[in-house]
Amino acid sequence: MIRTALALALLTTPALAHNIPVCSGGDRAARKVTCIVDGDTGWENGIKWRALDVDTPEISSPECPEEKGLGLKARDRLRQLMAGGYTIEWTGGKGKYGRQLARVRLADGRDAGQVLIDEGLSQPWPNKGNKWCER
């Protein structure tokens, strides 16, 4: 039980409440940047993460104009939610593009990805197509 508690403590990163910037500039790992890329991807102290079990609309390569608009809303809503305080719960796994898989747990205990799903700004992953562009 002590090992489990220690492992969990090592796999979580608490953060104080503050505004999380939108990511910009390169060399984020070396700069140990904390920022948000989009509604399901960010950087925490130089580690790129991907939110577990959610998929938000694309900003950088959307399939339709509606997707980009919703993607910006999802990104900004995630920033707003995280500004109240959060913990990154690292799973120890990696996603398709080598990003660390994680859950963003808000100060009130909610999962940020689930909040975005509940608000219509995300969908569960794996998904069944691009609902943002009606396919």
Q: What is the per-residue pLDDT across 65-118, written as a single tens digit (0 to 9) for each?
A: 999 999 999 999 999 999 999 999 999 999 989 999 999 999 999 999 999 999
Lowest mean pLDDT among 3-12, 15-24, 77-86, 103-112: 3-12
Tell me the pTM. 0.85
Whether 7 shows a pLDDT value over 60: the answer reads no
129 compared with 74, residue with greater pLDDT: 74
Domain with residue 93: its CATH number is 2.40.50.90
State the pLDDT at residue 135: 77
Whether 16 shows a pLDDT value over 60: the answer reads no
| Token pair in block for residue 64 | 């339709």
| Token pair in block for residue 74 | 């999802």
Residue position matching structure tokens 């100060």: 107
Whether 4 shows a pLDDT value over 50: the answer reads no
Q: Which residues contact 108 (CB under 8 A, 6 or more apart)?
A: 84
- Counting the structural domains of the chain, the total is 1
Q: Where in the sequence is the domain holding 119, given as residue range(s)?
A: 2-133
- Euclidean distance between CA atoms 10 and 89, whole angstroms: 9
